[in-house]
Amino acid sequence: MTDRSGNPPLYPEPSKGFSGQYGTDFGGANTTQGNAYPPQTGAYPSQGGAYPAQSGYGFSQQTTTAVVMTQPNTRQVVAMPRPPDYMVASIFACLCCFWPTGLCAIYYAAQASRLAAEGDMAAATSMSNNARNLMISSIVIGVIWIALVIVLQVVVYSNTYDRYGY
């Protein structure tokens, strides 16, 4: 509690010590004398008396208020990652599997790469998906074609061997 001048109350007298809530006396070496700091020990010189009273710094309660500001009409920028172009796989599918769909896959892969470089990620993703689908279909058709040729070669070779005895 402060008095009329705004100063805090004085410390208890050194002879009286401090009487706690339960009547315990904490007086003695740690008791301040006459509203001053306790005696200093060590390398630091002894300090003077208590701090002078400052006006306006009594027991006041400080409150903080958080201010949240929102901005209307904010726009969010969604950065889409660069889609894969499947160029290497399309070239492999064209050379090793089924070349007609492989050529189309190479075309769509080149378009996906060009559109991604221009920054049109939605169209690049669409072209990338087309290249992937054509590359997969080229590989599937090529594997089926190669398996069919092998089976026909074995069947034809075995019939020829039986007929002519080779």
Q: Which contacts of 141-145 are long-range, i.e. CB under 8 A and separated by 24 or more positions?
A: 141/97, 141/98, 141/101, 142/93, 142/96, 142/97, 142/98, 143/97, 145/97, 145/98
Average pLDDT estimate for 161-166: 61
In sequence order, what DSSP letters do the residues of the chain get, joined into one string? Answer: ---TTSPPPPPPPTTT--B-TTS-B--STT--STT-PPPP-SSSPPP-SPPPP-TT-SS------------TT--PPP-PPPPP--HHHHHHHHHHT-HHHHHHHHHHHHHHHHHHHHT-HHHHHHHHHHHHHHHHHHHHHHHHHHHHHHHHHHHHHHHHHHHH--
Provide the domain count of the chain.
2
Q: Is 98 a member of any domain? A: yes
Same-domain status, 34 and 91: no
Rounded to whole angstroms, how far apart are CA atoms 115 and 17?
85
Q: Output the CA torsion sign for 119, 121, 122, 124.
A: positive
Same-domain status, 94 and 149: yes
Q: Is 52 a member of any domain? A: no
Q: Is 49 a member of any domain? A: no
Same-domain status, 94 and 160: yes
- Asked if pLDDT for residue 4 goes beyond 60, the answer is yes
Query: Which range of residues forms the domain containing residue 133?
Result: 87-164
Give residue-wise pLDDT tens across range 15-72.
555 554 445 545 555 554 556 666 656 655 555 656 666 665 555 555 666 666 666 6
Q: Which residue has the higher pLDDT, 141 or 32?
A: 141
Most confident of the following: 2-11, 13-22, 36-45, 94-103: 94-103
Same-domain status, 33 and 99: no
Q: Is 61 a member of any domain? A: no
Same-domain status, 36 and 98: no
Q: pTM for the full model? A: 0.49
Q: Is 14 a member of any domain? A: yes
pLDDT of residue 7: 74
Same-domain status, 160 and 93: yes
Q: Which residue has the higher pLDDT, 39 or 125?
A: 125
Q: Is 51 a member of any domain? A: no
Label residue 91 by pLDDT band (50, 70, 90): very high
Label residue 85 by pLDDT band (50, 70, 90): confident
Q: Is 11 a member of any domain? A: yes
pLDDT of residue 142: 94
Whether the CB-CB separation of 14 and 33 falls below 8 Å is answered with yes
Same-domain status, 91 and 157: yes
- Asked if pLDDT for residue 155 goes beyond 80, the answer is yes
Q: Is 156 a member of any domain? A: yes
